[in-house]
């Protein structure tokens, strides 16, 4: 049995006490992957941003809000895990300044300076040692090229390519590639079906030889 860390859902970066930057990630793919890993007999820790769904009761869930919080929670758990799947859609930017009070209209444009947040998958993979890391790539163009570039930059062992239409959807399609750019799996259907197909590849290529 392996212990698997899964990041899931969006993160939020607050502009003021009531407004924030985020995206439409539902956490469905994270939940489906958690379920697949549990079904295959593994232990699962989910670090999740704010979502409306509930994760499988057998998963340990750590709720977070911001990208920094997600990174800190993952760093605390990763050392005791055998691998991680980064399926969350963390905010890549945060406002340079967070207003302590609600912003009020002043009749003039209000420029917003955004700073980059840390990349969770890339940061964890820097210290992965013998642990495995699977990333997700969602791009609007040059899918294969960008996915392979991300796999290298983020030091992932496998990269799952999916489409922008996957966000907040019931169904999806995904292609799993290895560091040579070879397609190991291509699946479409409900997120549960696709997650299981992805997990079978993870088991075959990453868990099997080392973990069991
Ligand atoms: O670069 P991009 O955001 O498209 O990369 C997607 C992959 O990186 C996903 O696995 C996602 O969970 C992860 N990621 C991350 N931390 C971020 C942004 C993306 O772990 N701040």
The 10s digit of each residue's pLDDT in 51-97 is: 999 999 999 999 999 999 999 999 999 999 999 999 999 999 999 99
What span, in angstroms and rounded, lies between the C-alpha atoms of 128 and 18?
37
- Nearest C-alpha to atom 7 of ligand 1 is from which residue? 136
pTM, full prediction: 0.95
What span, in angstroms and rounded, lies between the C-alpha atoms of 168 and 29?
9
CA angle in degrees (0–180, nearest 5) for 88-61-9: 20
Is 162 among the catalytic positions? no
Position in ligand 1 atom list of the atom nearest CA 138: 4
- Domains of the chain with bracketed CATH: 3-94+113-210 (3.40.50.10300)
Among 5, 23, 120, the mutation site with the greatest number of ligand 1 atoms within 8 A of its Cβ is: 120
Average pLDDT for 159-167 = 88
Average pLDDT for 20-35 = 96
pLDDT at 157: 98
What span, in angstroms and rounded, lies between the C-alpha atoms of 175 and 160?
6
CA 42 – ligand 1 centroid, Å: 24
What span, in angstroms and rounded, lies between the C-alpha atoms of 179 and 159?
8
């Amino acid at each position: 049995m392996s212990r698997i860390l899964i990041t899931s859902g969006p993160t939020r970066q607050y502009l003021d006490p009531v407004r924030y930057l985020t995206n439409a990630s539902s956490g469905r793919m994270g939940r489906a992957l958690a379920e697949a890993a549990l079904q295959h007999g593994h232990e699962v820790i989910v670090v999740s941003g704010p979502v409306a769904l509930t994760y499988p009761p057998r998963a340990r869930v750590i709720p977070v809000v911001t990208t920094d919080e997600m990174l800190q929670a993952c760093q605390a758990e990763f050392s005791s895990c055998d691998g991680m799947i980064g399926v969350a859609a963390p905010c890549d930017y945060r406002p340079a300044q967070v207003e302590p009070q609600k912003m009020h209209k002043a009749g003039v444009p209000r420029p917003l300076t955004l700073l980059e947040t840390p990349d969770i998958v890339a940061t964890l993979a820097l210290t992965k040692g013998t642990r495995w890391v699977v990333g997700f790539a969602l791009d609007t163009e040059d899918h294969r090229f960008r996915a392979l570039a991300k796999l290298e930059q983020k030091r992932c062992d496998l990269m799952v390519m999916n489409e922008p239409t996957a966000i907040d959807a019931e169904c999806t399609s995904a292609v799993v590639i290895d560091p040579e750019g070879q397609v190991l799996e291509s699946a479409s259907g409900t997120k549960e079906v696709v997650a299981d197909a992805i997990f079978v590849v993870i088991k075959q290529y990453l868990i099997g030889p080392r973990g069991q």
